[in-house]
Amino acid sequence: AMTDRFTYRGPDDQGFHFEPGVGFGFRRLSIVDLEGGHQPMTNEDKSLVLIANGEIFNHREIRFQLKEKGHVFRTSCDIEVLLHLYEEYGPSFVEKLNGQFAFAIFDRNAKRLMLARDHVGIAPLFYTCVDGLLIFASEIKAILEYPSVSKRVNLTGLDQILSFPGMVSPQTMFEGISCLKP
C-alpha cells in the first residue's frame, strides 16, 4: 500500500525486499540502465541491500575509480556505485557524491541501516518511528499508509509554511513525521 501511493513517480518497475526486521518497497522511474536498474539492489554477496531515488551525477568517474580498485559492476545503473562506495569507504562515502538523491542501505553484517540525502536537500526523505519501527519514504503520503501513523497537524510546521517560503528540516506538516536533513 505504501508504494502504491506514488505509482505515478515510479511507473516503470517495483520491487520489494523482506527479511526479519527489515522491509523495503520501491517504485522506479527508469532513466539510466532501463533493464539493469531493478531495486532493491544488492551487492555481489548480498550483504548490502539498497534503495535509492534520484541521480548520481558523477557516477561515471566513481565507477572508473572503483573498477581500478577491483570492484565488479553488474549493471550500468548510476545508483550501483552507492553499494561499491559503501563497501570501499563505509558511511563516509556520501562525501564523494555529486547529485540529487535519497537512499537507504541496509548492511546485513553490521545490522545497520543508513539513510542519506543529497547535500543540498533536493531529493526528500521523510521518516517516523511508531510501534518500535522506523518507517521512511520519499513522500509523506506513503508513510501515512501505515496504520499506526498519526495524521495530526504539526503546529510548528504549519507556522513555518505560513511564515517562510517553506518548512525547515526536520519539520513537516505532520506531528511525529520528520524530514531528514541534507
Per-residue pLDDT tens over the stretch 96-132: 999 999 999 999 999 999 999 999 999 999 999 999 9
> In whole angstroms, what is the distance from residue 99 CA to residue 40 CA?
20
Q: Which residues pair with 23 in a beta bridge?
A: 18
> In whole angstroms, what is the distance from residue 74 CA to residue 155 CA?
47
C-alpha cell at 72: 565488479
C-alpha cell at 129: 518511528
* Sheet strands (E) in 80-177: 99-107, 112-117, 126-130, 133-137
User: pLDDT at residue 73 above 80?
Assistant: yes
pLDDT at 93: 97
User: pLDDT at residue 8 above 80?
Assistant: no
pLDDT at 27: 77
> In whole angstroms, what is the distance from residue 49 CA to residue 42 CA?
5
User: pLDDT at residue 9 above 90?
Assistant: no
Average pLDDT over residues 147-157: 92
Per-residue pLDDT tens over the stretch 166-181: 778 898 999 999 999 9
pLDDT at 32: 57
Q: Give the residue, 58 or 30, on which the prediction is more confident.
A: 58
Average pLDDT over residues 77-100: 96
Contact 87, 93 (CB under 8 A): no
